[in-house]
Structure 1
Amino acid sequence: MIDLPSLPTDPKYVVITPEMADLWLTHCNPSSNRVLSDTFYERYAKAMASGAWKTTHQGIAFDKKGMLLDGQHRLMGIKISGVSIEMLVIPNCNAETFDVLDAGNRRQAAQLLKVPHRVIVAAAARIIGQMYKMWDPVTLFDGFYDTRASTSDILKTVAAWPELVSMAPIASAAYRAAGVNQPTHLVVLAQAARTEHAERIEDWASGLISGANMDQKDPRLVLRNRFFRERVLLGSSAGRRTSYNLIAKSWNSWAQGKLVGTLKALEGEGIIPVVGTEKFRPQERLTQ
């Protein structure tokens, strides 16, 4: 049986040794905590080892079961610095406070997702979540991207849309090959994966990534060329909605076996529905 360091019954400043930090990190750090950032804990460790670390009100917090809620970066700093540090230890916290702890390095949804390509998955969730009414929008950028969606809403959306995770490698590869906006492409792919056209995604990805052996009016090549020409704009936040609509139009043509001459973003047009989603999308929020 592991002999864990005892926790105080009330908030208390405790001298935490590297051995204590290691035990808490190994046995009391739940997998739901965010991914450790070596940038942060190495910076903390350097300050601790040099004597520059200052004891403040910020410390570590545990829930009522003794599991770590906050402070894993500070504990990792103590562990690798090899220095004992006095720090506030707060026991018996409510787990619901997790989302608002550690304001100095606010937890982002992407830090909590334990999946590949987690940054673009979280960004795509901000789009698809509000499109499919998974929460009441807080601050919509261009009526499209919720810039202030809560962490819990984003995590809930990723759980409801596992296609965001499974399609992320395609979005990432298309960005590297042709600069196609990753989050908006991922939102289109996630929806397409739920339609009768899902089997066309593999060939879509192959052509978009390679750019080889395609007709000049192939929707994939036309989209690829458009992003090559306007990569900066279409990859920015200002071009996010436009990039989504261009990708959706291109995908819709490809899925239905149609060629296209050009891809145009029309002023005042709504969010373009992905073909085949009419069976499950909220009609009033997606307009043709």
Structure 2
Amino acid sequence: MKAGRWKASHQGIAFDTSGTLVDGQHRLWAILQSGCTIRLAVSFNLPPESIDTIDGGKARTVVDRLVLGGTLGAEGVTKAHVATLRETARGLKHLPKMAYHQEAELMARHLDAVRFAAAHVATRAQGVGVAYVRAVVARAWYSVDHEQLERFCRVLSSGLPEAACDAGIIRLRDQLMATGSTRNRGVQRELYGKVERALLTWLKGEVRSALRPVLEEHFPLPEELKN
């Protein structure tokens, strides 16, 4: 732009029906950095889902898009939030990959639960601070007392029991760490089920010698209760 080599084209900037900028972020940033005055085409009232098909130019991550959307507050979101959301939506189901606008809608709906899970299962312990563990916490956020849930997360993250009934949490932690981070969907599903089982058992004040994964969802999301 400074060298005068910028050429006008059909690609400019675009806003959706809510006034959110959905295309042209990098062009506007280049204009700001160059200090130049540039003529651009401007489009208005694009449907929100159009961002799925907009040419991104420089690769734009889901996190970039969610932050640029400006609807998630000053705290924004991170990769951990997005990964947690995806596993929360999936649960024990086999869920196909979601389009961006679907993830954006889900993030807005479950943001508080996702942030709670990411904040309280923030350990770097191998196999513990992973999305499919945080997903159980995010789902449980809707039906479990938050102080209880926070304590469960604290013991799971630290490995330090606070009462005799915490033995089941420690057993879960040991199994998660022994497995470590895995990309195997079957193993992830089994571990997710074990996290649910451990949480359910702990909430009842029970301690079991064996930790078997649940076979059905015990912490449904609000929209799942309506179906």
Taking structure 1 as the reference length, the TM-score comes to 0.59
Q: How many residues are aligned here? A: 216
C-alpha distance in 2 between matches for 1:216 and 1:146: 38
Report the identity percentage.
24
Give SS of 1:259's match: coil
2:88 corresponds in structure 1 to: 128
Q: Is contact 1:178–1:208 with CA below 8 Å preserved after alignment?
A: no
Residue 119 of structure 2: which of 155, 169, 175 is its match? 169
Q: TM-score, normalised by structure 2?
A: 0.72
- CA contact under 8 A between 2:66 and 2:77: conserved in structure 1? no
1:108 aligns with 2:62: yes
Instruction: Name the CA distance, whole Å, in 2 between partners of 1:67 and 1:279.
Output: 28
Residues 178 and 92 of structure 1, relative CA distance in 2, 3 Å threshold: closer
Stretches (4+) displaced over 4 A: 48-57, 62-67, 85-88, 213-217, 277-284
Match of 1:226 in 2: 175
1:77-156, aligned counterparts within 5 Å? 77-82=30-35, 84=36, 88-96=40-48, 97-104=50-57, 105-106=59-60, 108=62, 111-113=65-67, 114=72, 115-129=75-89, 143-147=93-97, 149-156=98-105
Q: Distance in 1 between matches of 2:141 and 2:221?
A: 13
Q: Please list every run of 5 or more consecutive structure 2 residues that lacks an aligned counterpart in the other structure.
A: none
1:59 aligns with 2:19: no
Pick closer, same or farther for the CA change 1:163–1:92 going to 2, 3 Å.
closer
| Mapping of residues 184-199 of structure 1, within 5 Å | 184-199=132-147
Deviations 1:171-216 (A, max 9, x none): 2x13x24531532223211222222544311221221122124669
- Report the aligned-residue RMSD: 3.9
Cα distance, 1:218 vs structure 2 = 1.0
Once the two structures are superposed, residues 40-97 of structure 1 have per-residue CA deviations (whole angstroms, 9 ceiling, x without a partner) of xxxxxxxx66899787654323468986431112211232244x48675233452443
- Residue of structure 2 aligned with 1:259, choices 207, 212, 218: 207
